[in-house]
A and B are shown apart, each in its own frame.
Chain A
Amino acid sequence: MSGRAGLLAFWTGLAAMAAAFLLFDSGLDFNYIIPRRLAKLAAMVIGGIAVGLSSIVFQTLAGNRVLTPAVMGYEAVYLLLQSLLVLMLGTSSLVLLGDYGNFLVSILLMLAYSLAVHRWLFSDRQADIGYPLLIGLVLTLIIGTFTQFVQLRISPGEFAIFQGFALVSFDRVEWGRILWSGGLVAAVCVAGRPSLPVLDVLALGRDQAVSLGVDHHRHVRFLLALVAVLVAVSTSLIGPTAFMGIFVANLAYACARSGRHRLTLPLGCAIAVGMFLAAQLAVEHVFNYRTTVGILINLVCGAWFLALTLRFRDIA
């Protein structure tokens, strides 16, 4: 019963934070301030849903609670692609491809990367839980180095444009992006909805799932493709979120006290939105823009992830 009350308190708190974000110090200015804040809020909700869904689904598929797409280098690949595009086509890449073209290319690349990771992650050896994690971290480092190398070659003006992609921020969102990002996330949700019960079975592990009559290979591929789309959406909309997904997913498992995806998925999305809201509120009103959402989230989630790996036996 207390669990239900806790959930109620959680949702009320979330709504209160959203209201505070919209109205605090706004002077009820419905012409500029509140529409701007609504756009930011929409970006947070879409980004939060994308981060929450992709992290939890990826963890279930990998059977590993310390992995997320971000840690496995998905976001690093996205940033490398963006810097390569700017290098090869110049700023005109933004015009030439348009939002849609750029996004289509990104999604295709993410899908390809997903397939490559898939081969590695789900090879027969699942003995050591830390192994894919170490590979992911090192891969992220290496891809980051190549991105920096490409950045050396692009001109300072173009570099400034690229920098915009590389930091988590809600300040550059516009309604056009929000609309099609929201549309894509909605499409992914609709497409993934029938797989919800299958996810619970997949969480039991490959052998169990197969013996229960699930076409493991087909489902994993399909869901990984959805994850790739979600990561592309969240990275292009709000920037790389690094360790946030791990934090969100594990908090969701703890709060739901259950592994059922019907419970954990919405909770994870809500927690991610709540984190974005809290960080943005802190940046605007506590730190007075002397820090960024990305830095705050990295600091908190990184420290928490460190603590999590120290108690590794509990989650392994």
Chain B
Amino acid sequence: MSRAGLPLLFAALCVVSLTVGVNRLSLAQLASFSDAAWLTLTASRLPRLAALVLTGVGLAVCGVILQHVVRNRFVEPATTGGLEAAKLGILISLSVSPAGGAAVRMALALAFCLVASLVYVAIIARLRLRNTILVPVIGLMYGSVLGALAEFYAYGRNMLQSMQGWLLGDFSKIVQGNYEIVWLILPVVGAAYLFAHRFTVLGMGSDMATSLGISYRAMVTLGLLLVSTTVAATVVAVGAIPFVGLVVPNVVALRQGDNLARTLPSVALGGASLVLACDILGRLLIYPFEVPIGLTMGGIGGLLFLLLIVRSGR
């Protein structure tokens, strides 16, 4: 794609996302200042667009940071147990303080995700046989063990069914007033830009990073903290969305290489565009109903992931 192609695609997707929906909204209506049209726009469509773009950007950047920290192309929150840990955190916050609101859920999801990611990175560091394929395999296993723990916990408290429902990524519930926690992603992305050079160096390994004057442990912890904040915020606000962080950075790296400071804009825009496209597809597939983005992304992202694996095996 040419340098102007991606921003253009992104802008087009934004416009489509604003106009698609059960409540018809045409640009003509907006121009004539119809109250109903403006209400739909400000209360539902704009918050949804903001949430979509922020999660897309956040998850893609997250994936890239994780890939540099773990030094493996195939890791992202869904393949390192981070998503499952955040779900477990929310589950526990719901049963411990049901009236706690988004802040409590966010805090627990963040804490669980951070601890799980730190444990994962420690496990990978101790691995005797490090190979590209094994690292995500262990992450998937680790995630499924955390998932089984969550099931065990939920089943005993009769929360299994609701857990399956609301932890699947879904933007249809996003309206003004219940999505604002997603804005936490903005400072995270800002920090990622700020430290982009350091994360690039981190990707060269601990010895190289240390000899270039970077505190390896501090940087790894910071990276995982950024990742956990993003994952927790998205899971609390919209639910789990897999594979964004995996597919987008890989495709970008194939075209532009691994210098984070240069590729971050493309990664961010690519993530937002992919999430937007999957959301629009989900809204049209069984119109007027919606397919949750957790499913459309799981299908499309999963197939792309499979292609990447098969390609790497050749």
Determine if A131 and B133 form an interchain contact, defined as CB atoms under 8 angstroms apart: yes
Q: Is B136 an interface residue (CB 8 A)?
A: yes
Determine if A134 and B299 form an interchain contact, defined as CB atoms under 8 angstroms apart: no
Determine if A152 and B151 form an interchain contact, defined as CB atoms under 8 angstroms apart: no
- Would you give the shortest CB distance from A235 to chain B, in whole angstroms? 18
Determine if B123 and A291 form an interchain contact, defined as CB atoms under 8 angstroms apart: no
A292–B148 Cα distance when bound, in Å, is: 11
Q: Is B20 an interface residue (CB 8 A)?
A: no
Determine if A128 and B129 form an interchain contact, defined as CB atoms under 8 angstroms apart: no
Shortest Cβ distance from B290 into A: residue: A152
- Would you give the shortest CB distance from A300 to chain B, in whole angstroms? 9
With a cutoff of 8 Å between Cβ atoms, the chain A residues found around residue B74 in the complex are 134
With a cutoff of 8 Å between Cβ atoms, the chain A residues found around residue B149 in the complex are 299
Shortest Cβ distance from B308 into A: residue: A138
| Contacting residues of chain A (255-292) with chain B, CB-CB under 8 angstroms | 287, 290-292
Determine if A302 and B144 form an interchain contact, defined as CB atoms under 8 angstroms apart: yes
Chain B: interface residue total (CB-CB under 8 A): 38
Q: Which of A130, A131, A303 contacts B145 (CB 8 A)?
A: A303
Chain B interface: which of A35-43, A220-228, A306-314?
A306-314
Q: Is A94 an interface residue (CB 8 A)?
A: no
With a cutoff of 8 Å between Cβ atoms, the chain B residues found around residue A135 in the complex are 306, 309-310
With a cutoff of 8 Å between Cβ atoms, the chain B residues found around residue A128 in the complex are 131, 133, 313
Q: Which of A145, A291, A302, A316 contacts B141 (CB 8 A)?
A: A302
Determine if A310 and B138 form an interchain contact, defined as CB atoms under 8 angstroms apart: yes
Q: Is B137 an interface residue (CB 8 A)?
A: yes
Q: Is A133 an interface residue (CB 8 A)?
A: yes
Determine if A310 and B137 form an interchain contact, defined as CB atoms under 8 angstroms apart: no
Q: Is A81 an interface residue (CB 8 A)?
A: no
Determine if B131 and A134 form an interchain contact, defined as CB atoms under 8 angstroms apart: no
With a cutoff of 8 Å between Cβ atoms, the chain B residues found around residue A137 in the complex are 137, 140
Shortest Cβ distance from A141 into B: residue: B302
Given contacts A142-B303, A292-B155, A306-B145, contact A152 B131 (CB under 8 A): no
Determine if B148 and A298 form an interchain contact, defined as CB atoms under 8 angstroms apart: yes
Determine if A291 and B152 form an interchain contact, defined as CB atoms under 8 angstroms apart: yes
Q: Which of A130, A152, A299, A316 contacts B148 (CB 8 A)?
A: A299
With a cutoff of 8 Å between Cβ atoms, the chain A residues found around residue B286 in the complex are 152-153
Determine if A309 and B137 form an interchain contact, defined as CB atoms under 8 angstroms apart: yes
Q: Is B128 an interface residue (CB 8 A)?
A: yes
Q: Which of B133, B151, B168, B298 contacts A134 (CB 8 A)?
A: B133
With a cutoff of 8 Å between Cβ atoms, the chain B residues found around residue A145 in the complex are 295, 298-299, 302
Given contacts A137-B140, A145-B295, contact A290 B302 (CB under 8 A): no
A295–B299 Cα distance when bound, in Å, is: 25
Q: Is B291 an interface residue (CB 8 A)?
A: yes
Most chain B CB atoms below 10 A, which of A135, A306, A313, A316: A306
Most chain A CB atoms below 10 A, which of B131, B133, B291: B133
With a cutoff of 8 Å between Cβ atoms, the chain A residues found around residue B6 in the complex are none
What 1/0 flags go to A236-260 for Cβ under 8 Å of B?
Answer: 0000001100000000000000000
- Would you give the shortest CB distance from B80 to chain A, in whole angstroms? 13
Shortest Cβ distance from A136 into B: residue: B137
Determine if A130 and B302 form an interchain contact, defined as CB atoms under 8 angstroms apart: no
Given contacts A139-B306, A142-B306, A298-B144, contact A306 B313 (CB under 8 A): no
Q: Is B156 an interface residue (CB 8 A)?
A: yes
With a cutoff of 8 Å between Cβ atoms, the chain A residues found around residue B156 in the complex are 287, 290-291
Q: Is A113 an interface residue (CB 8 A)?
A: no
Given contacts A131-B313, A141-B302, A152-B291, contact A309 B128 (CB under 8 A): no
| Contacting residues of chain B (155-203) with chain A, CB-CB under 8 angstroms | 155-156, 168
Q: Is B112 an interface residue (CB 8 A)?
A: no
A310–B125 Cα distance when bound, in Å, is: 11
Q: Is B216 an interface residue (CB 8 A)?
A: no
Given contacts A135-B306, A291-B155, contact A305 B298 (CB under 8 A): no
With a cutoff of 8 Å between Cβ atoms, the chain A residues found around residue B127 in the complex are 310, 312
Q: Is A26 an interface residue (CB 8 A)?
A: no
- Would you give the shortest CB distance from B98 to chain A, in whole angstroms? 19
Q: Which of B129, B142, B305, B313 contacts A316 (CB 8 A)?
A: B129
Given contacts A142-B303, A291-B156, contact A306 B295 (CB under 8 A): no
Determine if A138 and B309 form an interchain contact, defined as CB atoms under 8 angstroms apart: yes
Q: Is A119 an interface residue (CB 8 A)?
A: no
- Would you give the shortest CB distance from B95 to chain A, in whole angstroms? 14
Most chain B CB atoms below 10 A, which of A131, A243, A316: A131
| Contacting residues of chain A (105-146) with chain B, CB-CB under 8 angstroms | 125, 128, 130-131, 133-135, 137-139, 141-142, 144-146
Determine if B137 and A295 form an interchain contact, defined as CB atoms under 8 angstroms apart: no
- Would you give the shortest CB distance from B96 to chain A, in whole angstroms? 18
| Contacting residues of chain B (90-142) with chain A, CB-CB under 8 angstroms | 123, 126-129, 131, 133-134, 136-138, 140-142
Q: Which of B123, B128, B292 contacts A312 (CB 8 A)?
A: B128
List of 10 A-B pairs having minimum Cβ-Cβ separation, nearest first: A145-B298, A142-B302, A130-B133, A298-B148, A302-B145, A290-B156, A299-B148, A306-B141, A130-B134, A313-B129
- Give 11 A-B contacts (CB < 8 Å), ordered by A residue: A128-B313, A131-B313, A142-B299, A152-B286, A153-B286, A242-B144, A243-B144, A291-B155, A299-B152, A302-B145, A306-B145
- A131-B309, A131-B313, A287-B156 given. 6 additional CB < 8 A pairs? A125-B313, A141-B298, A152-B291, A243-B144, A302-B145, A310-B123
